[in-house]
Amino acid sequence: MEQLLNRLAESVSGANDLESLTRPLLELLETVTGMESTYLTTIDEAHGVQHVLYARNTQHMQIPEGLDVPWGDTLCKRALDEGRAYTDNVADCWGDSEAARALGIQTYLSQPVRNLDGGLYGTLCAASGSRVAVSPETVKVLGMFARLISHQVERERLMDTLRRSNQELAGHALVDPLTGVANRRALEQELRRRLSQAQREGTTLLVAFIDLDGFKAINDQHGHETGDRFLSQVARRLADGLRSSDLVARYGGDEFVVVAPTAVGEDLRGRLEELIRGRYVSAGVPIDYAGASVGVVESGVGDTDADALLKRADAQMYEIKKARKATRH
């Protein structure tokens, strides 16, 4: 027993995932039970399927990894339903199991592997085609192994949850919550990256700074909720109307920025003005929008300062805004 505990401690301490824990446990299980096959299964009760996840077969009996069998026909389900962890006479106990007959199982040992909430994850099993005597102490060892696997499964689920949460948090940190496009932080990071890439490749970028003229009047006349919807609709028109390689970001308030690869003959300013101009309907309220002021600048070869490029685009936008005001007056 001392030797078993030492090997068990080595298996647990060296495990960094479910497989690296389970495979040594299956080998230990073979040693303590004398069974031909030891294996871990997962159970999908909703679809009625038991799946052999990991298996160890050292003698005549072969229970292959990846095997799927109907859950209702398995020895594992019968053992769980009856509370019978072990039998050396499967034919007498569960002779109606087609799976047992097909595999030639005569001695069977099983313990449920449960999630920490009590739900059934799978089973840890041992089987042989001949009669094998198994002591109550060995059944307890199997139960201990099953609990170790349960804790590893839960640990991996928690780690997956943490990873997903971190990814979501990272995503939210780079997305404007109102419009769903990139936020200012994401814009600055991506613009720096694209400028570095353009420098390596000898290409240039177009940066468009957009200010939604008259947005304050929309808020004052229709309310902030309608104004927020209007901002979201503008962002959606930009995102849907531009190329997948173009970056759309909300810079703040009623200002947006678009970053695009320079294309020969492209009129980015005209394209953006066309996308934004037109009728919007927010909560049943029609808004006929005359358009935005759009300033567009092109990065120079060797241009790597994202902040300076944004300031140039912003200054160009204000020149356009002054010209638009002068035309209206």
Is 316 part of a structural domain of the chain? yes
Catalytic residues, by residue number, are 254
Could you tell me if 203 and 313 lie in one domain?
yes
Could you tell me if 261 and 135 lie in one domain?
no
The pTM of this model reads: 0.55
Closest CA to 26 of 73, 58, 49: 58
Distance CA 279, CA 291 (A): 10
Could you tell me if 21 and 128 lie in one domain?
yes
Distance CA 116, CA 147 (A): 10
Could you tell me if 257 and 316 lie in one domain?
yes
Could you tell me if 200 and 295 lie in one domain?
yes
Is 173 part of a structural domain of the chain? no
Is the separation of the CB atoms in 230 and 218 below 8 Å? yes
Could you tell me if 215 and 323 lie in one domain?
yes
**What range does the domain containing 64 cover?**
2-155
Span 214-250, pLDDT tens digits: 999 999 998 898 999 999 999 999 999 999 889 999 9
Could you tell me if 148 and 8 lie in one domain?
yes
Return the CATH number at 58: 3.30.450.40
Closest CA to 260 of 313, 307, 185: 313
Q: Does 268 score more than 90 pLDDT?
A: yes
Q: Compute, in degrees rounded to 10, the torsion defined by CA atoms 249, 250, 252, 258.
A: 50
Could you tell me if 150 and 222 lie in one domain?
no
Return the CATH number at 303: 3.30.70.270
The pLDDT value recorded for residue 283 is: 72
Domain boundary among 134, 155, 176: 155
- Beta strand extents in 129-240 (DSSP E only): 205-211
Domain count, the chain: 2
Could you tell me if 128 and 228 lie in one domain?
no
* % of the chain surpassing 70 pLDDT: 92
Domain boundary among 117, 136, 155: 155
Span 177-216, pLDDT tens digits: 899 999 999 999 999 999 999 998 889 999 999 999 999 9
Could you tell me if 74 and 199 lie in one domain?
no
Mean pLDDT over each residue of the chain, to the nearest integer: 88
- Average confidence (pLDDT) over 110-114: 94
Is 24 part of a structural domain of the chain? yes
Is 165 part of a structural domain of the chain? no
Could you tell me if 7 and 145 lie in one domain?
yes
